[in-house]
Amino acid sequence: MKALTYHSAKDVRVETVPDPIIQEPEDIILRVTATAICGSDLHIYRGKIPGMKAGDVLGHEFMGVVEEVGPAVTCISPGERVVVPFTISCGDCFFCNARLFAACETTNPGRGAILNKKNVRSGAGMFGYSHLYGGYPGGQAEFVRVPKANTGPLTIPAGLADEQVLFLSDILPTGYQAVLNARVEEGSHIAIFGAGPVGLMAAACARMLGAERIFMVDHHAYRLEFARQTYDVIPINFDEIEDPAEFIVEQTDFRGVDASIDAVGFEAKGSALETVLTDLKLEGSSGKVLRQAIAATRRGGVISVPGVYAGFIHGFLFGDAFEKGLSFASGQTHTQQHMPQLLEHILRGELRPEVIVTHRLPLHEAARGYELFEQKLEDCRKVILTPELLPA
């Protein structure tokens, strides 16, 4: 089959790789009908995620039609159309029983990304996300093996197009969990840092839950303008407004917003010192957005962090957070927890995640898709890839 493989930073290729086969009783083989490129894939693409090997198949946002099921699969049958969550969760461990699916402690034979690990077991394995997360081949491919299929895939009713539901695999639940963690409710005032797909999904969910004012910070004018038109955000371009937190505080009666959402993560732009340190590999992450979020949030408020972090950050002002009595919530999304409810919202027309899509490419043009998304070319917001199967 054809699949998008990693070779080194900025070098990804569509190549022929072996077809996946059923390996465990709870596996299914999925014929992929649509797959997307995620901001998390860009961390890999830029060579920032250790534990990648040449030839690894990328992709963790995908859906398709079930081709084959293992003998222990009880919930789905061949021919069903499903969306697959990006974390692989057993459904039966301490954390899965607590519905903290991203923390599943049985599916990741890799070491995970905790530095001061002690003997803590790794969190859930993930599709196409390096050998730190289990080395599972991803779904930017014609076919993919989906382990633990009794816990992951969600069956999609007929009548919905792939792109209406594809983002249930990751960015929609991620935006939703970010606003739940931010305790967004009717009348909330919030700030969202990052107008990428995750920030946009957070804005959509915050609107649905009744947020009153949403500030959105980025420096890509086209992304901010889309968010203003679609979700009525107050755009803040940090190329023009040097200190977004100061602006937000001034606009909120010198208190700050109820909550800030960091939908950027460790590759945040803006600190020359941190860029140098990160390039020298002396530091894991840029703390630019976290510092801004702490400064922009009112006393007693929340910092919700869906953006990915790794290792150390410089200048984390924990004293300011303490003085303000801030709460923090972060982490990989417990996708399975939110998928059924979000599907209901899509069916009722309350969420239309597909509006963010700008590029639809055949799988064989995936490398160009990565370039467009990474370089923000052609006003790219989100790329969907479609495998084109040759007739058998």
Ligand X SMILES: NC(=O)c1ccc[n+]([C@@H]2O[C@H](COP(=O)([O-])OP(=O)(O)OC[C@H]3O[C@@H](n4cnc5c(N)ncnc54)[C@H](O)[C@@H]3O)[C@@H](O)[C@H]2O)c1
d(CA 60, CA 143): 13
Among 147, 197, 235, 256, binds ligand X (CB under 6 A): 197
d(CA 302, CA 306): 13
Report if residue 48 touches ligand X, rule: CB under 6 A.
no
Among 29, 32, 38, 82, binds Zn ion (CB under 5 A): 38
Tell me the closest approach of the beta carbon of residue 213 to Zn ion, in angstroms: 28
Decide the pairing of beta strands 28-36 and 61-69.
Answer: antiparallel
Tell me the closest approach of the beta carbon of residue 322 to ligand X, in angstroms: 23
Q: Which C-beta is closer to ligand X: that of 57 or that of 261?
A: 261
Within 206-265, the residues that bind ligand X by CB under 6 A are 217-220, 223, 238, 263-265
Report if residue 384 touches Zn ion, rule: CB under 5 A.
no
Chosen from ligand X, Zn ion, none, partner binding at 128 (C-beta under 5 to 8 Å by type)? none
Structural element, H or E, at residue 260: strand 257-262
Axis crossing angle, helix 171-181 with helix 335-347, rounded to the nearest 10: 100
Q: What angle do CA 182, 187, 190 make, to 5 degrees?
A: 40
Residue 68, CB-side half-sphere exposure with 13 Å CA sphere? 13
Q: Which C-beta is closer to ligand X: that of 70 or that of 244?
A: 244
* Residue window 273-292: x/- pattern of binding to ligand X, with contact defined by CB under 6 A: ---------------xx---
Tell me the closest approach of the beta carbon of residue 317 to Zn ion, in angstroms: 28
d(CA 14, CA 6): 9
On whether the CB atoms of residues 333 and 61 are closer than 8 A, the answer is: no
On whether the CB atoms of residues 191 and 234 are closer than 8 A, the answer is: no
Among 152, 196, 256, 301, binds ligand X (CB under 6 A): 196
On whether the CB atoms of residues 303 and 262 are closer than 8 A, the answer is: yes
- Counting residues that bind ligand X (by CB under 6 A) gives 34
List contacts with ligand X (CB under 6 A): 38-40, 42-43, 170-171, 174, 193-199, 217-220, 223, 238, 263-265, 268-270, 288-289, 306-308, 332-333
List contacts with Zn ion (CB under 5 A): 38, 40, 89-90, 93, 96, 104, 106, 170
